[in-house]
Amino acid sequence: MSPLLPQARFVEQAHEPLTLTSPILVSAPLQFVAEVEVFAADLRQAIGWDVTFSPEADGADVVIEHCETMAPEGFSLRVDGRIEIAAATPTGLFYALTALRQLGPPSLFSTSGIRLEEWVVEGVDVVDEPVYAWRGSHLDVARHFFDVETVCRHIDLIAEHRLNYLHLHLNDDQGWRVDVPSWPLLTTIGAFRAGSPVGHENDNVQDSVPHGGYYTAEDMARIRNYATLRHVTIVPEIDLPGHAQAVLAAYPELGNTGERFDVWNHWGISEHVLNVSDEALSFAEDVVLSVASHFPGSPVHIGGDECPSTEWSQSPAAQAVMREHGFRETHELQGLFTTRLAAALQRAGHEVLAWDEVLDAEVPEGTTIVAWRSEAKGVEAARRGYATIMAPETVFYFDVLNTDDPREPVAISPLPRVTTWRDVYGHAIVPSDMTEGEAALVRGAQVQLWTEYIATRDHLDYMAFPRLCAFAEVVWGSAGDVDEFEVRLRRHLERLAARGVNFHPLD
Residues marked as catalytic? 172, 243, 306
* CB distance 468 to 139 below 8 Å: no
Q: Exposed (0-12), middle (13-18) or buried (19+): which is 65, by Cβ within 10 Å?
A: middle
The secondary structure of the chain in percent helix, strand, coil, rounded to multiples of 5, reads 35, 15, 45
Residue 507, C-beta contacts closer than 8 angstroms, at least 6 positions apart: none
Asked whether the beta carbons of 81 and 12 are under 8 A apart, the reply is no
Q: Strand, coil or helix: what is 38?
A: helix
Parallel, antiparallel, or unpaired for β 192-193 and 211-212?
antiparallel
Determine contact, residues 8/130, Cβ cutoff 8 Å: no
Best CA proximity match to 370, nearest among 431, 285, 446, 292: 446
Question: How many beta carbons lie within 10 A of that of residue 59, not counting itself?
Answer: 11
Residues 6+ apart with CB under 8 A from 474: 424, 425, 427, 428, 429, 445
Q: How far apart are CA 346 and CA 470, in angstroms?
A: 34
Backbone angles phi, psi at 30, to 5 degrees: -60, -35
- Strands 175-176 and 171-172 come out as antiparallel
* Phi, psi values for residue 442, rounded to 5°: -80, 110
Question: Which among 187, 174, 130 is positioned nearest to 444, based on CA atoms?
Answer: 130
- For residue 444, what are the β-bridge partners? 134, 389
Q: Are 236 and 292 in contact (CB under 8 A)?
A: yes
Judge whether 73 and 67 are in contact, CB under 8 Å: no
CA-based nearest residue to 75, from 88, 58, 57: 88
Stretch (H or E) spanning 247: helix 245-250
Please check whether residue 193 is in contact with residue 211, taking contact to mean a CB–CB distance below 8 angstroms: yes
| Residues constituting the chain | 507
For the four alpha carbons of 221, 225, 227 and 231, in that order, the dihedral sign comes to positive
- Side-chain-side CA neighbours of residue 100 (13 Å): 31
| DSSP single-letter state for residue 206 | B
